[in-house]
Structure 1
Amino acid sequence: MKPKTVQPRTRVVLVTGPSGAGRSTSIKVLEDMGFEAIDNLPLHLMPRLLEGPGPDRPLALGVDTRNRDFSTAALLDLIDQLAARDATDLTVLYLDCLSDILLRRFSETRRRHPLAPAESPEIGIKRDLDLMAPIRELADILIDTSDLNVHQLRAAIERWFAPDGSTSLAVSVQSFSYKRGLPRGIDMVFDCRFLSNPYWQPSLRELDGRDPRVATHVMGDARFAPFFERVLDLTLVLLPAYVEEGKSHLSIAFGCTGGQHRSVVLVETLAKALAEGGQQVSIRHRELYGRETDERPN
């Protein structure tokens, strides 16, 4: 009996984000790195690109609210379709930016916002961010371009996608609240609601897990250390296994009741440990989004 032939997986990077955040620049960078780049193809046509024999180059697909048949639901459905394909290794790259920076960019270029051509750019930016918010939550890699120039954005893309051809595994670690349900596209989920809850301490209630006082309280629970050590050990076992399987990202999530204290502490602690070991890590605190800038590469 002949051994079963394993078909190579096609790497697909879905590049998205609000208008003005750097999506077009990122696609050009990926094209320079050897990706076949296709921008603003109608969403319903994208699955057809992967029918039949896979392309001989990885694909970079640009999508935003300007796509002819765009809707948030349609893009979420497309991501689910592509992620479910055994022959496809999908990475969702989200280019983010603060609204005031987006406004400044539109003002400097005197461009009309595509979602508000006859109205002010502020209106278009708000519509855009609202439509993209669910996509942002499930991104595998999130790059905040608010403080980046073109050259710095290029360097960030090159760091994530290994221009020398080596295999680079992107790790995303995020916190969330069980009240809002599980995040989409997560590989591993850990429930940390068994840990001591800082919410019941009046002096800690309005703080979040990035504050040292909250971290000290959570880590003071005798169950924290053994739980964290086992999670870290499991993650370190999985990292090389994911690389061997040809996967490009690993998503880990910690959930607690409000997504503000315990889960945030665990995300920060795990991300720091992985980063100190040389791993590329992206942090995301879903329930803190909008309060402060909380997504950043380490």
Structure 2
Amino acid sequence: MVQMIISTPQLAERLPAVVWNYADVKEGVERKLAQYKDRVYTADMVGGAKADRAGLNKLADAISAKRREVKAWYLEPFQAFENQCKEVEGMIAAASGEIDAQVKAFEAAEKDAKRAALAAYYDETAGELREMVPVTAIFNPKWLNKSYRLEAAKLEIDAAVQRIREGLDTIRTTCGADVAACMDVYLHEGLDLSAAIRKHQQLEKVRAAEVQRAAQQDQDTLPQKLADLRTSLTGEPAPGAEATPPAGPAPEEAAPPPAERPYMDFRVYYESRAQLMGLRQYMIDHNIHFGRVPAAL
């Protein structure tokens, strides 16, 4: 081991103090500054104020210049020593850097081998999941640490594969028609099952809102549909509407029944428009004439 030996005699002791007339200078400065204590300048004294300021700045500059001069004198021998030390330190750093590069190359090769082993284990364990979930989606960088055992990393891979399978099964059994959309969220948003379930809930809310809007629309148009149906069955115009000639002869008008044929007036109660239209079509198909009940005489 190389040992540094400093042979400068003064190094065993502290560097000699700078001997100067500190007390005299300080006393002189205090006397000078006393002249300006509590001095108040007026507008017509601006020129004198500037001269006083310049005088004080000049005094400070003189002291500062002498300080830098003495500092440089004290540091001059140190600068040469510092430069020499830095030169030797650089030589050592260069050699250390070359070794460090080799060490890092060895460590990188070990990590690559470990990464490849874990990827192969995942492919074997995941089976059909490999196409949907690449190993990078579950890979933990801490597995590559030298202190992290390979077997411990494999156990975590087992747990991850099991968790993914369970998540996919949950989506298939609970998301109904939204399986594809929820699966996409699960596979592309960090394997977050909660996010996939929320997607299903959002889509259900959208569908429920659409059903409600459709029901409301049917409810809003039901009176008009009933009025149109009444007009279609009886030929009677809807209340408030002017009667318009039909586009073609109605079935009952095309072949008016003989006066001697029996007839019956009755009221129909129905559940839906489809039922009423079915009844209408039945009477047409069986040549049963129908029309508006005439007003009582």
The structure that is strand-richer by fraction is 1
The structure that is helix-richer by fraction is 2
Whether these two folds match at TM > 0.5 is: no
- With structure 1 as the length reference, what TM-score do the two structures score? 0.17
Computing the radius of gyration from Cα coordinates, the structure with the larger value is: 2
